[in-house]
């Protein structure tokens, strides 16, 4: 292994509490598109203000619901990748807190304990009026892939809340919305208690989430970045592994196991 990988493996071996901060790149090798990287980046194809903001929801709830119903349906087609599994294995020997910006459930399905879903979760669908959790069926608009930028065929009326009859909405945090307090507080606790941070698969440009690693860096905690490309957090990283989650994380685990 490269000396960076060896050094990072040694740092992981001697750490007591590791906070892993993940973004969309963590799930890329499971087949879930990222937002701003690669040629299938979602915000390169669609307008986030239309699909991931309160205004977009209020302007066209059928389009927004159809889009999330498609993404909720996609969860049935994807599985955790070797990177998710390596993080879950690491937690057998260390305290590993996962703080994720992702709304998929792949960390949990790999066996990780996710201490914080900063941007909510596709599995937390709720009523947009009384906030009651919705665990009814989520019909998937007929569409294997979203061709080009044709979203019209995704339109679907959201289910109605059994309790109050309100429209059901995705359990994710939209641009302009506050992050859930409990998720934020446990993320802050994790970054304030750890002695090593792994930053995996995030462009590091969406705040307040992107500001969390700085809390640990401010305490002199080493920040390791795993990302094939530079990111806005590369400047904070003490070591960068320019590789993907599904190849770098298992490699680190193998080097640690010697």
Binding residues for substrate: 68, 71
Q: Least CB distance from residue 111 to ligand APR, whole Å?
A: 19
Are 183 and 116 in contact, with CB atoms under 8 Å apart? Answer: yes
Instruction: Rank residues 164 and 205 by Cβ distance to ligand APR and give the closer one.
Output: 205
Q: Least CB distance from residue 240 to ligand APR, whole Å?
A: 11
Degrees to nearest 5, angle at CA 44 with 41 and 48: 100
Element at 117 (helix H, strand E): strand 114-117
Active site residue 119: yes
Q: Which of 84, 107, 117, 119 is catalytic?
A: 119
Q: Which residue positions form the known binding site for Zn(2+)? A: 127, 130, 161, 164
Instruction: Rank residues 101 and 121 by Cβ distance to ligand APR and give the closer one.
Output: 101
Q: Helices 245-257 and 3-14, interaxial angle, to 10°?
A: 70
Q: Least CB distance from residue 32 to ligand APR, whole Å?
A: 10
* Nearest residue relative to ligand APR (C-beta): 25
Element at 64 (helix H, strand E): helix 61-74
Judged by the rule CB under 6 A, the positions of this chain that interact with ligand APR are 23-25, 28-29, 34-37, 41, 48, 101, 119, 201-203, 206, 226-229, 231, 244-245
Nearest partner of 99 among 13, 180, 186, judged by Cα: 186
Instruction: Rank residues 101 and 186 by Cβ distance to ligand APR and give the closer one.
Output: 101
Indicate if the alpha-carbon torsion angle 203, 206, 208, 209 is positive or negative. negative
Active-site positions read: 119
């Amino acid at each position: 292994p490269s000396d960076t990988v060896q050094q990072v493996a040694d740092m992981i071996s001697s750490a007591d509490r590791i906070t892993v901060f993940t973004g969309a790149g963590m799930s890329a090798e499971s087949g879930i598109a990222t937002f701003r990287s690669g040629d299938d980046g979602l915000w390169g194809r669609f307008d986030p203000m239309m699909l991931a903001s309160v205004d977009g929801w209020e302007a066209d709830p059928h389009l927004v619901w159809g889009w999330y119903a498609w993404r909720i349906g996609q969860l049935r087609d994807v599985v955790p990748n070797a990177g998710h599994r390596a993080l879950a294995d690491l937690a057998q020997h260390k305290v590993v807190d996962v703080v994720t910006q992702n709304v998929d459930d792949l960390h949990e399905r790999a066996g990780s304990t996710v201490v914080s879903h900063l941007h909510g979760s596709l599995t937390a669908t709720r009523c947009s009026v009384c906030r009651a959790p919705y665990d009814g069926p989520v019909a998937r608009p007929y569409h294997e892939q979203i061709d080009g930028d044709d979203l019209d065929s995704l339109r679907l009326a959201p289910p109605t809340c059994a309790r109050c009859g309100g429209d059901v909405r995705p359990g994710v945090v939209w641009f302009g919305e506050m992050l859930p307090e409990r998720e934020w507080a446990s993320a802050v606790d994790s970054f304030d208690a750890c002695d090593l941070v792994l930053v995996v698969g995030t462009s590091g440009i969406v705040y307040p989430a992107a500001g969390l690693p700085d809390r640990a860096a401010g305490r002199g905690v080493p920040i390791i970045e795993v990302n094939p490309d530079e990111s806005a957090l590369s400047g904070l990283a003490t070591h960068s592994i320019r590789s993907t989650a599904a190849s770098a994380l298992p490699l680190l685990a193998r080097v640690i196991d010697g």
